[in-house]
Amino acid sequence: MPHRAHRPRKRFGQNFLHDPGIIRRIVAAIAPAAGDHLVEIGPGQGAITGPLLASGARLDLIELDRDLATALRTRWPDQPGLRILQADALRTDLCGLAGDDQPLRVVGNLPYNISTPLVFHLLEQLHCIRDIHVMLQREVVERMAAAPGSRDYGRLSVMVQYHCRVEPLFHIGPGAFRPQPRVESAFVRLRPHPVPPVTVTDPACLARVLRTAFSHRRKTLRNALRGLLDEDRIRRAGIDPGARPETLDLAAFAALAEAIDTQRP
């Protein structure tokens, strides 16, 4: 029976990688090895799945599209070391896949329509993740790697850099995909820090400061953080209350988070 072509679904943000040169560069950057436990998010039509399996690594695929999951099972029936989950990556407990085994290596072409929430979901599970190699919209990767004071710097930058070393690897043009997206893509490596670069007693406080500050990024801290910290506590944390959020580095945000934590009854 002839194989029926899959029509990419816009609601799932589907853009399928087909460029052999880019596929080789991605697999080389991941450098999968026998004994690795890989999780591929959004395998689509399996462009990098085959080379990953050829390495001898164990591989879990998480594919939301039921038709694609079925096609992947048909392509690799009873493949040793392969599990295919028809599931939403945003709701998947990755650490449950790891069990008590070695840390996971997460890879994939993340759907651009949910890329930022998916990155935050991965950050919440870093205790069972060795590294992350993912393709994202170029703009998102630039935000993840941005320095204080730059146009791209924001909540995503600080949260990712608190948890991981960010290594943008290479850009990928629209022609590498079918259908062609309207944006440039980039491939990035995230390596969780063995020890966080700054001290934060309660990471939830850091997340709260960032969420509040960057929802009012054009305001000064004394106004943006009103309700969390008063001007005096901001100053005692060593931060200028007249500064704007996008000018603060990770250490400054950590100091603000500690100021919130110490003012609790």
| Residues 48-83 pLDDT 10s | 999 999 999 999 999 999 999 999 999 999 899 999
Within-domain flag for 116: yes
Q: How confident is the model at residue 211 (pLDDT cuts 50, 70, 90)?
A: very high
pLDDT of residue 14: 62
Burial class for 136, CB neighbours closer than 10 Å (0-12, 13-18, 19+): buried
pLDDT at residue 204 in the model: 92
Instruction: Dig out the tokens for 13 from the structure.
Output: 């943000």
Element of type H or E holding 144: helix 138-145
Average pLDDT of the segment spanning 131-155: 96
Helix (H, G, I), strand (E, B) or coil at 124: coil
Residue 263, pLDDT above cutoff 80: no
Same domain, 77 and 131: yes
- Residue 8 has a pLDDT of 43
pLDDT at 143 over 70: yes
- State the Cα–Cα distance between residues 118 and 23, nearest whole angstrom: 22
Looking at the structure, do residues 114 and 159 belong to the same domain, yes or no?
yes
Q: Are residues 185 and 208 in the same domain?
A: no
Residue 157 above 60 pLDDT? yes
Asked if residue 211 is part of any domain, the answer here is: yes
For the chain, what is the domain count?
2
Same domain, 185 and 166: yes
Q: Is residue 35 assigned to a domain?
A: yes
Inside any domain, residue 71: yes
pLDDT of residue 102: 85
Closest CA to 260 of 218, 200, 220, 219: 200
Q: Are residues 51 and 111 in the same domain?
A: yes
**Nearest of 80, 40, 81, 47 to residue 64 by alpha carbon:** 40
Confidence (pLDDT) at 217: 80
> Which pLDDT score is estimated for 1?
33
Residues 131 and 101 in one domain: yes
**Quick one: pLDDT band at residue 227, thresholds 50, 70, 90?**
confident
Helix (H, G, I), strand (E, B) or coil at 133: strand
pLDDT digits (tens, 9 = 90+) for 10-56: 444 468 899 999 999 999 999 999 999 999 999 999 999 999 999 99
Helix (H, G, I), strand (E, B) or coil at 18: coil
Asked if residue 118 has pLDDT above 70, the reply is: yes
Q: Residue 5: what pLDDT? A: 52
Do 82 and 119 fall into the same domain?
yes
71 and 168 part of one domain = yes
Tokens of 224: 């943006």
Specify the DSSP element, H or E, that contains 122.
helix 115-123
**CATH code of the domain covering residue 207:** 1.10.8.100
How does residue 216 score in pLDDT terms, banded at 50, 70 and 90? confident
Both 60 and 139 in a single domain? yes
Instruction: Select from 192, 169, 17, 215 the least CA-distant residue to 122.
Output: 192
Say if 156 falls within a structural domain: yes
Report which of residues 220 and 101 the model is more confident about: 220
Position 261 confidence tier, pLDDT thresholds 50, 70, 90: low
Query: Is 117 inside a domain boundary?
Result: yes
**Residue 222 sits in the same domain as residue 149:** no
Q: Which of 192, 223, 238 is the last residue of a domain?
A: 192
We report the CATH number of the domain holding residue 176 as 3.40.50.150
Percentage, residues of the chain above pLDDT 90:
83
For residue 198, being part of any structural domain is answered with no
Q: How confident is the model at residue 112 (pLDDT cuts 50, 70, 90)?
A: confident
Task: Looking at the structure, tell me whether residues 42 and 149 fall in a common domain.
Answer: yes
The boundaries of the domain holding residue 144 are 10-192
SS3 96: helix
How high does pLDDT run on average in the chain? 91
Residue 57 lies in a domain: yes
Dump strand ranges (E) for 37-163: 37-41, 58-63, 82-86, 104-109, 129-137
C-alpha dist (Å) from residue 85 to 27, 39, 65, 68: 22, 10, 10, 11
Q: Judge whether 59 and 83 are in contact, CB under 8 Å.
A: yes
Pair 23, 141 in one domain: yes
